Amino acid sequence: MRTLYIVRHAEAAMTSASGDHGRPLTQRGGVCARELGAMLSRLGQGPEQLLCSDAVRAARTAEAAHAEGGWTADVELAADLYLAPPLTLTAAASRARPGTTRLMLVAHQPGLSEWIHLLTGGPPLSFAPASVARVDLDLSSWGDLAPGSGTLRWMVGPGEAGAFRERADP
């Protein structure tokens, strides 16, 4: 069993002098990113590997969640995750280290909600900034990641992380 945490970067400023790629998080975005990290830590579900778009807003989301959650995984920045479509996201996740069972990927819309739909076969989702979706995968290797291979376990939106309590397995 492998677990994939799909995270949309937290709320970002509308503009930046350095363009879209350089947009920083807003104050609210920083708070939501920290809450996300605390939630996963409280649930005992910190990632073992963390892949992240190299856009400033995604990197700051990952860094804030990482710091608040006290995770040991390094934040690994990847240029190919910036505004990536689902097939690029799948390729990135497929390159996860073999021993990784909990992988987090921080990136952008609309690719993320499309990717969740592709992996789970579920209905298209609204995926707001600072949302996280847990997708469970019955895979022996990340290289086996394919359309329909996952089950959406839960999704938490911005501002919901502090109150989230995971239900027991059915």
* DSSP β-bridge partners for residue 104: 5, 50
Following DSSP, what letter does each residue of 93-128 receive, concatenated? HHTS-TT-SEEEEEE-TTHHHHHHHHHH--------
Residue 12 has pLDDT above 60, yes or no: yes
Q: What is the pLDDT of residues 126-152, one digit of tens each?
A: 999 999 999 999 999 999 999 999 999
- The residue among 128, 134, 133, 126 whose CA lies nearest residue 159 is 128
d(CA 92, CA 90): 5
- The residue among 102, 103, 122 whose CA lies nearest residue 114 is 122
Q: What is the pLDDT of residues 88-98, one digit of tens each?
A: 999 999 999 99
Predicted pLDDT at 161: 78
Q: Strands 102-107 and 2-8, how do they pair? A: parallel
Helix axis angle for 27-42 and 56-69, nearest 10°, is 40
Contact 52, 105 (CB under 8 A): yes
Q: Of the ranges 42-56, 75-89, 128-142, 155-169, which one carries the lowest mean pLDDT score?
A: 155-169
Confidence of residue 155 (pLDDT cuts 50, 70, 90): very high
Residue, of 35 and 169, whose pLDDT is higher: 35
Predicted pLDDT at 165: 78
Predicted pLDDT at 166: 75
Predicted pLDDT at 71: 95
Predicted pLDDT at 170: 44
pTM of the predicted protein model: 0.95
Residue 169 has pLDDT above 90, yes or no: no
Predicted pLDDT at 164: 84
Domains and CATH numbers, the chain: 2-156 (3.40.50.1240)
d(CA 95, CA 143): 7
Average pLDDT over residues 47-62: 98
Predicted pLDDT at 167: 64
Residue 8 has pLDDT above 80, yes or no: yes
Residue 101 has pLDDT above 60, yes or no: yes
Q: Strands 75-78 and 2-8, how do they pair? A: unpaired
Average pLDDT over residues 5-23: 94
